[in-house]
Structure 1
Amino acid sequence: MSTIESGGPQEQDGSAQTRAQTLLREATIPLGEGVAGRRPARYAVKLDGVGGAGTRPEELAAVFSPEPVRIEPLSPSDPDVFLLVFPHRSFSSDTTAVFELGYLIDDVPGVSAAEPDIATDFYPDPDQPRRLGEESADGFMAGCWVGEDSGLPDARWALKAIRAPEAWAWSDAQGRPSRGERIVVAQPDTGVVRHKELDLERRVASFDVLDRDRDPEDPLNYRGNTGHGTATGSVVVSGGSNAMSGCAPRAYHMPIRCIESVVRVSQVPVAQAIDFAVDNGAHVVTMSLGGLPSFTLARALARAVAADVIVMAAAGNCVGTVVWPARYDACIAVAGVNKDDLRWKGSCRGYGVDVSAPAENVYRARPDGASPTVESSAVGQGEGTSYAVALTAGVAALWLAHHGRANLVHQARLRGETLQDMFSRLLKATARRPPDWDAANFGAGIVDAEALLKAHFDLGRGREGAFTVSIDPALPVRALVAERLGPTAVDRQLDYDRYGPELAFHLLEEARGRPTPGGAEEAGSLGTPPTGDLRDAVTNPELRAHLERRA
C-alpha cells in the first residue's frame, strides 16, 4: 500500500480535533528544534477492517488536520498496521504527553492499537572504556562493567567456553556441514563497516531500514559504542583467518541497519528488520539491542517463529531486569557470564532469561577509523550481553547446519513444535550448569554447542512445558510490575496491551536509577523498590485516573 499524505481542511468533530491538536503540540516539537538529527515523530497504528468497512488510513490522518500527516505501511508482512508520521515534528521530552497522544489515537473508531515509536536508552553498552565516565553520567549504575583483562589465555576463550571448537570437530568427524555452513544469520543492529573479520563474500540480502536502501553501512556518526554492529557481527561470522574467529565462521551474514545507536533503540524499525529478515531467507535472527514492549515487535516475532526462523535477543545491560524483545516469551533471551562461569556483573537477569553465554572480555572486531569505508583490522575485548547472544546465534547456526534445517523442521513438526520450540528446548536441556548455578536469574545454564549437536531430538520433552508463540505478549509487562513493585501491584483488570509500553517505560526508568516522578532516585537501585503502588509509577493522567478507579 502506498503512502498517504494529508494536510488539507477536513470535516471533523471540533472538540476532538482541538484535543488532538493540543496533545500534538505537547507531545511534539517542530522538527529541527532541540537535538540535531531527530527523526519525525510517528505512531504505529493497527486498523481493523482495512480495505473493507473499517476505518481507512486517510480518515485517521484527518484527525490531525490541518497538521500535515503521512500514513505509511509498516511492512508487507503486516498489512493492517500503519505508521502515522508527522513529517514536520519530532517527539518532545514530555513522555506523558507522548503516551497520552497514543491513547487518543487508540480511541479513534476502527483503531485497535496505537503506540509511539520513541527511542529509549534502556540498553547501555559499556563496551568502550574511554566512554565509561560519559555513560555513568547518563544515570547507569556504577560498577556495571569490568574493563579489559590482560590475563585472558587467548582470543578464542569465549568459543572454548561454549565448546564451539568441539562442535566443529564433531560435525567434521560425522561428515556433516560444519561451522554454520550455508546458514543465514540476520543481524538487526547499527549496520556494519568494512573490516577484515567480516567477509563480503558471505554477505547476503543486506538492508538499511532507516534509509530504505540495500546499503547497511554504519555511518559511525553517533555516540554510544560506535561500530556496535560490526563488533557483534564478527562474533557470529568472523572467518577466523585473522586475529579472532566467530562462532559460525562459514555462515552467511545478513546485516540490517535498523538503529542509529545501540543506546537509542526504537522498536518499530526492529520489527521491520525482523520482517525483512524472514522475507529474505534468514534462518536465525540475533538482536543485540533492547527497549520497550511493542505490539509491532511482538507480531513480527510471532511471524518469524511461525516461519521456523530462530529468534533471540540479549537480556540487556545495567538495568538489572530483562528488556524487550528478549523479555517476550517468543524470543530466546541470553544473559551474560565471564571466563570463570560467574555472572557478568552488568548482565540483566531474572524473568525471561533462557540461557547464558560469555559476555565479559569477548574478543570482537573493532573499527579503528573514523570512516566506514576504510577497512579496519583491529580486534579487542568487549563486554555486554550483545556478545552473549551473538555467540548463541552462532551456536544455532552450527545446529542447523549439522542436522540440516529441512530435517530439523520436519522433526519439530513430528513433535508438535515449531523449530524455535525445539531449539529452545534442546538449548536449555544441554546447557552446562556450574556449581551453585543461579537458574532463576540466569536460565538453564551456559550454552554448550557440542552437547547441543549431539543431543537426541527428544531430550527435555518431559521436563518442560510447551513453548508457543500464542503466549500473551502482555504477560512480561505484568511480570515487570511484579518484579519492581511486588505481586500485589499487578492489576488484573488493567489493559496491559494498551498501557504496557508506558508502564514499562517508567518501571525501567526506575530500575536504571534515573529519577522519574514517583520513582526511585538512587542511582543503581536494583533492590526493593520504594513503593508497591502502581499509581506511583506513572504520570499519565488517563492511566492514573484508571488506577484510581480500580483502587
Structure 2
Amino acid sequence: MFKAWVTDRPEWGFDGDEQPAAAFGLPSFACGSGEDLAKAKAHEWSIELANVPLAWQNHFAGAQPGEGVVIGHPDTGYRRHPEIAANLLTGLGRDLVDNDDDPQDELKKTFPWQNGGHGTGTASVIVSPRGAADANPQNAVSGTAPHAKLVPFRVSDSVVVVDTLNLARAIELATDRGVDVISISMGGVGSDRLHDAVVYATSRGVIVLAAAGNCVRFVVFPAAYDEVVAVAACDAERGIWKGSSRGRAVDITAPGDRVWHATANANDALNNVSQGSGTSYAVATVAGIAALWLAKHGRNTIISACGGKERIASTFSQLVRDTATPVPGWPSGQFGGGLVNADALLSAQLPNGRTVPTLAPTATQHVPLGRGGLTTFGQLFESTVRSAQPLLAAAPGPANGLDDGLADLLRTTADKVPADLGQVGQELAFYLATDPELYRRFEDAVSPEQDEDAVDDVRKQLLEKGVSDALQIKLSR
C-alpha cells in the first residue's frame, strides 16, 4: 500500500514563510491558498475562466447542460447539501470503508489528515445547480454540469490514499454501475491493482480524470497513468497555483485556487459554501466539462466517431488538450495543453471514425510507471531532473544524475541499477514519496549542486526505518 501527501486542507499548508505543522513532517513545499485575488470573490469566476457559461449558451439551446450523463465520484462520501442533493444517485453508491450501501460521509476530523466534507465540496463543483440552491444569494456554487447526476463512493476519510484497494474497487464498481465519467480528487503512489482498475474503466468507455496532486513535487497516481486525464490547477488571474503538481503527465489545467464549493462539517447546518484550493477542485471542474462533451454529442455518436467505446477516453483527452487556451508564461510541457476551454472543446469536430487519437496508449506502449523501476523514479523526481537537464521535458527517461544517485544510494554501478530496482524499487519509491524530508534529501543528491552528504543521510534514515532485508543488504553492502 502506498500513500502520498495530496491534501488541499488549509491547515496542512502554509502561506509565505509560515512553516507547516512539524507533526506531519511536511517540508517547505509550496502549498495553501494563493493570493486573495479580487476576481476570485465572484462565485462563478472559476466556470467563467473555463468558458463554461459560454459553452452552455452556445451548445445547449433548449437542452440541459450535462443531462443524461452519470459521474462516478470516489471520495470521502456525501452529505445532502442543498447544492448537490437534487443530483445525487445515492442508491447506486457504495461505502467501501464499511462495506455497505450507504456512502454517507461521516465527517470525521478526529485526526488532522481526515478530510470530512471533502466529497461534498468536490461534488458541488461538478453538479451543483446554477446559482443559490437555497435562495440565499450568499450561498452559491455553480457546477460545470448542473444537470448531470453523480454517484458517490466513500473510499476513505482522507484524500491521502493509504488503501489503494478501496479506490480501485470504487473505479470498477462505478464502471459496472454504468457511469460515464469518474472524477477522482485524491491520489497516491501507483500500484498494479489501481492501474488495472483504470484500464478496466477506460476499456469500457469511461472517461477517468484525477487530480495531479498538491504539495508534492510529482504528479501522483492515478493521475500519472496514461489512460487518466491528469488535471493541474491555476488561479483566477491565470497564474499557476503554487501548490499544484506539474510535469509531463499533466493533460490539462483548470481553476483550482480559491474555488467556491459546498461546505459540509459536523458543526454547521450543511447549507454553507466556502472557498478552497487544490487540484481536487480543478479536476472536478474538468470532469463536469467532460459530462458536457458527452451530453452534447451523445455517447453513441462519440463511439461511432472515434471507432469504439475503448477510445472515448483517449479521444476526450486529445481534444481537451488540443482545444485548451495556451497561457503565456506557463512552463512548456508541465501544464498539459493549457487552460481548459469548455466552449472550444464542445465546438471541436469529432474524429472521422478512422483516426486514432495520438494520445491513445496501447498495451505495449504503456510505461509501467508504478512498478519501482527507473521510470518510476523519473516520474517522482521529474522536476529535479528537469532543472539539471532542461531538454529532459521531451525525453523519455531519467537523466544520468538520477541514475548515478540511485547507484550511489544502492552502492552499485549505474548499469546494475535496473536489476536492483527490480527487487527493491517499489519499497524504495514508497519511502521517498511518503517521507517529505527523505524526498528532499534525495533531491539534494541528484540536483545540479549534488550535496555530497545527501546520499549518506538518505541511506542512514532508510536504515533507521527498519526496511526489508533485501533493501537493507543493498544499502549496507
CA contact 2:88–2:152 (8 Å) conserved in 1: no
Q: 1:529 offset after TM fit, Å?
A: 7.0
Higher mean displacement: 265-274 or 141-150 = 141-150
Q: Describe the shift of the 1:411–1:123 C-alpha distance in structure 2 as closer, same or farther (beyond 3 A).
A: same
Describe the shift of the 1:529–1:230 C-alpha distance in structure 2 as closer, same or farther (beyond 3 A): farther
CA distance in 2, matches of 1:201, 1:387: 18
CA deviations on 1:290-327 (whole Å, 9 max, x unpaired) are 11111110100011110010001100001121111111
C-alpha change, 1:528 and 1:404, in structure 2 (3 Å) is farther
Shift of 1:467: 2.9
Match of 2:391 in 1: none
Equivalent residue, structure 1, for 2:331: 438
Q: 1:347 aligns with which of 239, 244, 267?
A: 244
Match of 1:481 among 370, 373, 377: 377
Conserved? CA contact 1:330–1:471, under 8 Å: no
Asked if 1 retains the 8 angstrom alpha-carbon contact of 2:104 and 2:154, the reply is yes
Aligned to 1:356: 253
- Does structure 1 residue 403 correspond to structure 2 residue 403? no
Q: Of 205, 225, 229, which aligns to 1:332?
A: 229
Letter in 2 for 1:164: V
Distance 1:274 1:425 in 2: 22
**Per-residue deviation at 1:465?**
4.9
Of residues 80, 91, 94, the one that matches 1:194 is 80
Letter in 1 for 2:200: R
Residue pairs, 1:141-160, within 5 angstroms: 141-142=27-28, 143-146=30-33, 149=36, 151=38, 152-160=40-48
Distance 1:198 1:526, change over 3 A: farther
Q: Distance in 2 between matches of 1:527 and 1:334?
A: 29
Instruction: Tell me which residue corresponds to 1:216.
Output: 103
CA drift of 1:235 comes to 0.5
SS at 2:252's partner residue? strand
Q: Deviations over 1:422-468 (max 9, x none)?
A: 00010100011012332311111111111000101239x79945434
Specify the code of the residue in structure 2 equivalent to 1:542. Answer: A
Contact 1:320 1:346 in 2 (8 A): no
Q: Deviations over 1:192-235 (max 9, x none)?
A: 11211112454241110111111111111233332111111110
Partner of 1:391: 285
Residue aligning to 2:160: 263
* Aligned AA (1:281): G
Match runs of 1:117-128 below 5 Å: 117=1, 120-127=3-10
Tell me the matched-pair count: 421
SS state at 2:343 partner:
helix
Q: Does 1:171 align with 2:59?
A: yes
- Do the aligned partners of residues 501 and 179 (structure 1) sit closer, same or farther apart at CA in structure 2, a change above 3 Å counting? farther
How far the C-alpha of 1:500 sits from its partner, in A, is 4.8
Q: For residue 234 of structure 1, what is the aligned residue in structure 2?
A: 124
Q: Note if contact 2:56-2:65 (Cα within 8 Å) is conserved in structure 1.
A: yes
1:501, 1:364 → 2: CA distance? 37
CA offsets per residue over residues 73-122 of structure 1, 9 Å max, x none? xxxxxxxxxxxxxxxxxxxxxxxxxxxxxxxxxxxxxxxxxxxx35x342
Where 1:216 maps in the other structure, the secondary structure is coil
The answer as to whether partners of 1:481 and 1:507 remain within 8 angstroms in 2 is: no
Compared CA separation, residues 332 and 501, structure 1 to 2 (3 A)? farther
* Partner secondary structure for residue 439 of structure 1: coil
Q: Determine the structure 1 residue equivalent to 2:406.
A: none
Q: Which amino acid aligns with 2:172?
A: D
Is the contact made by 1:368 and 1:378 (CA closer than 8 Å) also made in structure 2?
Answer: no
Give the one of 63, 70, 93 matched to 1:206.
Answer: 93
Higher strand share: 1
In structure 2, do the counterparts of structure 1 residues 305 and 470 end up closer, same or farther at CA, with 3 Å as the change threshold?
farther
Deviations 1:124-165 (A, max 9, x none): 223458998895422334442236736235101000111111
Paired amino acid for 1:324 = F
- Cα distance in 2 for partners of 1:533, 1:139 equals 20
CA distance in 1, matches of 2:422, 2:79: 38
What is residue 32 of structure 1 aligned with on the other side? none
The amino acid that maps onto 2:303 is V
Residue 541 of structure 1 is matched in structure 2 by 469
The amino acid that maps onto 2:116 is T
Please report the RMSD computed on the Cα atoms of aligned residues, expressed in angstroms: 3.3
Separation in structure 1 between the aligned mates of residue 59 and residue 214 of structure 2, nearest angstrom: 34
Shift, 1:335, TM fit:
0.6
Task: Please say if residues 126 and 135 of structure 1, whose CA atoms lie closer than 8 Å, have aligned partners that are also in contact.
Answer: no
Q: Tell me, which stretches of 5 or more residues in structure 2 are unaligned?
A: 133-139, 386-397, 404-415
Question: Is 2:325 the counterpart of 1:428?
Answer: no
| 1:406 positional shift | 1.5
More helix as a share of residues: 2
User: Does the 8 A contact of 1:294 with 1:501 survive in 2?
Assistant: no
Q: CA deviation at 1:519?
A: 4.2
Q: Which residue of 2 aligns with 1:184?
A: 70
TM-score (norm 2): 0.79
- Mind listing any 5+ residue stretches in structure 1 that lack a counterpart? 1-116
The one-letter code sitting in structure 2 at the alignment partner of 1:234 is: S
